[in-house]
Amino acid sequence: MNVSTRPGTIEDIPAIFDLVKELAIFERALDQVTNNVDKMTRDYNEKLFDFFVAESETGIVGLSLFYFRYSTWKGKRLYMEDIIVTEEMRGNGIGKILFDATLGAAKKTGCTGMMWQVLDWNTSAVGFYRKYGTNYDNEWINCNLDF
């Protein structure tokens, strides 16, 4: 199996949105997805996010979606929203390829670090990130407002 990683393009958005829905199904939350291809296309054109894709001979099999944020304490940070690998391709090192590409983008663009979230019940992902020396924060409570 030959898998390569490349920066995403606007033409990839329908395929990556399929991956988003696959992740939502995995997380038992498909009913919470209110985004769609048109919104993602608009937001990509407005430079609100960027992404890498992993491709095999069958097409796009993985995604890392990220954007930049700013910390008053640390400065420019890269926030990785999601890494998604199709269920049938998990366990083949694709997540590592995507994570390394995203980590490289953070360093190349002068970020002081990278941030992301992981569900506590996703033990395989927790173990994966632990290999990188990830700091886990048990102090902060995630907050959000939906409109």
Residue partners of 90: CB distance under 8 A and separation at least 6: none
SS (H, E, C) 37-92: HHHHHHHHHCCCCEEEEEEECCEEEEEEEEEEEEECCCEEEEEEEEEEECHHHCCC
Q: Does the annotation count 129 as an active-site position? A: yes
Q: Which of 44, 67, 70, 129 is an active site residue?
A: 129
Q: Which of 27, 61, 59, 20 is nearest to 43 (CA)?
A: 20
Report residue 118: phi and psi, to 5°: -140, 140
**Tokens 């998604």 belong to which residue?**
84
Surface-to-core class of residue 90, CB atoms within 10 Å of its CB (0-12 exposed, 13-18 middle, 19+ buried): middle
Residues with catalytic function: 129
